Structure 1
């Protein structure tokens, strides 16, 4: 016999039950935010150590080398009660994971058991992890970081004679690894670049508007000023804030998901926020080279970045086999920025073959930027498959391949992999327009003016005390700390109120069947869609404004009715922009071969 739900229909009891549950969820959500503030305070008081799920021992310190850096090399020794370290096989190639310095601290590659570190241990590899301190070494440069990582690669190789290490680079850690491997002809057995930007101007409308930011801020001078007023340190909270503002609907979804089911989301929310709100610092010299040479200058793919005064980071010199893992759902490093450099470095497939290099790319259809590193599903499927098939990748003949994964037949199984030959010429990435060259020139001019006329005055008056005050009042910190009972003592009563409401039966475990809750969820979805629509309008306006601002740099290229570039200067030949639907059948997608 069917028993009707007590929430069936739009009855008054269902409405009262809904409002009682809203009261409990509101208090539970506020209490979770209070706990987040406490966790953040405790993490900062502890010196913001790396948030690895695994136990580790230090092997090397970047301060002991020359040039000095704030990096350390750790060896993973234990995985709690799971004892994944027992899977390590004698003679297996070591894995070195390098996390990004993009405002947060290290640990995202070993954030949980099912992570890059965890999958490497399951596959039998000894694992090393490159971490860094919250504060840079005085005068630390990007070259110092690259040389430190190069020394770490050599050290790991020397500790495991007869094998070559597999180096994992996440996001900015990926281009640091690529630079390290191009530095003075160093080699590894395999380099895996996850969501790593190497072609910074690449992209298309509605894909990655962040690449346009330099056009609206005047270029590198702003980062220079922030580092100057920070007494020589650049606060990573600014980078994290840019990330959140890039897709505001994701910010709404994060808090709305917590409010909808605080009892289910509590632990997951706090676990992630502990890492997300640990803001690290970069040195002035380091951030300026990153912004000038990479983000705005796009000089890496041309081999123009000088690492140590005499050695260039030339991607054409990398002889380590590469795996490039990116996602169409990543608006920070879409496939354009992860793979667009190939056509600049290797003008043809034959050039890639002649160089003796093998490059494999693996595409995900929808996972976001952070999901490439933190998603347990991605770790258990894509990352484990990369490591499991590492030997097959290393044995491929020189050339370009797409790695296509089969479906898992049972839980815990490694998906089969097929390596489909591709052609560099068929990668559907257009070269960036001349507007980016104009932005780079403007950035250099303004930065030169700032360096000569303004920076000396700012640095004269900047103090560590003033920098500390700016850091404490940064919106990314104040928006978290305002939920602390140290700031608002009344918030200390939230746990009692939460328990009292729960004891009174206000929490509704069956809320999903309540029609009033369903209306709330529809309203939330409508709000998220509205934010998304606004964000799309903002990004399209930015693209249009970029074209208008720098039209003088390309007087013969105007947008047509579809937003595509059209050559009006003589040939009248249309420059085709690959659409999302066309991309699904293009070589870079490979959906037909990977189905």
Structure 2
């Protein structure tokens, strides 16, 4: 056989891989048969003689592995292997171009969104009812009324629903980010729906007490607009959860039932391998770092630092899984990815007074679970004053607010179930086994199941006897009429012991003392130096644009990086000539397995890092054993 025929056959394969029929491609491999038979026969002879020479095994057993391999490398397998390689290389290069074009669009969207003032990214039309920047105590909040997309009017007797999103580094709108969302479920159930929005920068000197006062005005306005309906059902997500719980305790006359989703209430609660973020304040020396960052921002705290902390918690998702999910499904995921990233990269600011109160009283001080805390001068809030049902939605998959942090505070305020009942309180909690922190607010599946069930059965909860309950969702009924039951649930009585968790209070008490001492040192010696260097707001604005969370996004914008411009035209050509490989492609399978290995390695790194942080925290703050 002429070796040239072999190379000619390979050339044929690559030239006609996509045009020829399966039968024609198999014929092009017939030239390999003599070579395969020769190699197989030679190997059989060598293996047979070697086996007889060493007298160890039978010839057949000696060559089993090679024969298996040879069988797999038959002409049909070779055909598939080369065909897979050809198709995969083409698909991979096309996906890469589309991926890079998506990065380009993300950078452009971030800059465009900033220039447009970063409005709330709601999937619904709305009208502004009140603008709190015009109040006597101005804050950067607004009350919005959500218009029903089909022009439908609220059903008779349905109480208003107010959804408040977290002001924790991002824009408002996550509660109505999709059609299937908290806002969407409220509209589906026939409620008049409102939401609270906020602008990127706070009003000068605003405090959390001012924000609460504005939200009270919002609730009073909703009451005026719907005098014939019950008090509003108030939804608070994450940071807004604990804020609205405090408001409900301070002014129970303006709120109806309260639902808090993924909201940390017990900041010291946790456990081994659970929520290492609760330790970070102590390991960084306490609240002095927040003071320093506010001084670097000339009185403003950059929300990008909060987002960065969140991303550090899950390096596998941040560094690999999120972007790989886009790359692997670039044909279907691009729009969803860009919509989410527009919200994710819209970083908001907080006033120094706001973030310092949060850090000192909650993250470090854990004062909320003590039952009484001071939000302003001579303004105390007693958490036992909440009158209407309090619904708590948490998830075991949430690494920001695990069930321990969402629920333990109840046992600190009400040591026994009898104390809770005697106070006339109704607390209902609902648990998800796997969804992550953002999924509690963003996931369409969670909205359709958990949030829909909560909103649908809120009047049932209103009629429960005082006590602690767990809400269990049994099934969907399949009913589409909002006037009829669409999901079946039941409420199981629970004991306070069921939500009581171990907390190393002595260690965290020491952390508070260290934090207070370090803050005093910084205010005395560090702040004068920083303020002498950072004195103009323009300096802080420039510094913010060099934050890694921003640079890593806008660096891919073709407005700042001319090298990205070419991907726009290439992406157009690819979309017109797209050729996708099949999922069972050998190389596509190897790609997925490689991705899994990378994600697993990053998860292992995270686990080891978190373990190290726990050890360092114990070494630093735990009382040494006495001998």
Same topology, TM > 0.5 = yes
Matched with 2:300 is 233
Deviations for 1:204-258, whole angstroms, at most 9, x for unmatched residues?
A: 1222000000111111111111111101110001100111111111121100011
Structure-1 residue corresponding to 2:10: none
Measured on the aligned residues, the alpha-carbon RMSD in Å equals 1.9
| Alignment partner, residue 42 of structure 1 | 112
Per-residue deviation, 1:545: 1.2
Q: CA deviation at 1:499?
A: 3.2
> Which residue of 84, 108, 114 maps to 2:180?
114
Tell me: CA distance 1:93–1:46, structure 2 relative to 1, closer, same or farther (3 Å).
Answer: same
Is 1:295 matched up with 2:363? yes
Distance 2:394 2:117 in 1: 33
Q: Which runs of 5+ in 1 are unaligned?
A: 557-568, 570-595
**2:615, 2:477 → 1: CA distance?**
47
1:529 aligns with 2:594: no
Residue in structure 2 matched with residue 453 of structure 1 by the alignment: 525
Per-residue deviation, residues 402-436 of structure 1 (Å, max 9, x unmatched): 00001224375722110111111232412333111
Q: In the alignment, which residue of structure 1 is the partner of 2:44?
A: none
Question: Which residue of the partner structure matches residue 377 of structure 1?
Answer: 445
SS in 2 for 1:312: strand
**Cα distance, 1:90 vs structure 2:** 3.0
In structure 2, the residue matched to 1:223 is 290
1:17 and 2:87 are equivalent in the alignment: yes
In the alignment, is the contact (CA less than 8 A) between 1:209 and 1:542 conserved in 2? yes
Query: What is the match of residue 419 of structure 2?
Result: 351
1:509-588 map, 5 Å:
510-552=581-623, 555=625
C-alpha distance in structure 1 between counterparts of 2:472 and 2:436, whole Å: 19
Confirm whether residue 134 of structure 1 aligns to residue 207 of structure 2: no
Which residue number in structure 2 is paired with residue 476 of structure 1?
Answer: 549
Aligned to 1:27: 97
Residue 490 of structure 1 corresponds to 563
Larger radius of gyration: 2
How far apart are the structure 2 equivalents of 1:219 and 1:39?
Answer: 36
Instruction: List per-residue Cα deviations over 1:306-352 (Å, max 9, x = no partner).
Output: 12212212211222210000000000001011001001111111111
Cα distance per residue 1:515-535 (max 9 Å; x no partner): 111001100001000000110
TM-score (norm 1): 0.89
2:395–2:431 Cα contact (<8 Å) kept: yes
Match of 2:573 among 496, 500, 510: 500
How far is 1:555 from its partner? 4.3
CA distance in 1, matches of 2:504, 2:440: 26
Compare 165-174 and 88-97 and name the one that shifted more.
Answer: 88-97
How far apart in 2 are the matches of 1:67 and 1:307?
15
Contact 1:190–1:320 (CA under 8 A) maintained in structure 2: yes
Distance of 1:234 and 1:418 partners within structure 2 = 44
- The alpha carbon displacement at 1:55 in A equals 1.0
| Equivalences, count | 547
1:183 aligns with 2:250: yes
1:236-255 aligned at under 5 Å gives the runs 236-251=303-318, 252-255=320-323
> Is 2:349 the counterpart of 1:281?
yes
> Contact (CA 8 Å) 2:234, 2:255: kept in 1 or not?
yes
Q: Work out the CA distance in 1 between the residues paired with 2:533 and 2:95.
A: 48
Whole-angstrom CA distance in 1 between matches of 2:563 and 2:524: 51
Local SS of the residue matching 1:340? helix
Equivalent residue for 2:537, pick from 435, 457, 464: 464
Corresponding residue SS for 1:48? coil
Residue 483 of structure 1: CA displacement? 0.5
Structure having the larger proportion of residues in helix: 2
Aligned counterpart for 2:505 among listed residues 433, 440, 443: 433
Residue in structure 1 matched with residue 125 of structure 2 by the alignment: 55
- Give, in whole Å, the separation in 2 of the partners of 1:424 and 1:39: 48
> Equivalents in 2 of 1:65, 1:204: separation in Å?
44
Deviation at 1:72, TM superposition (A): 0.7
The C-alpha deviation readout for 1:347-374, integer Å capped at 9, x for no partner, is 1111111111100000000000000001
Conserved? CA contact 2:468–2:495, under 8 Å: yes
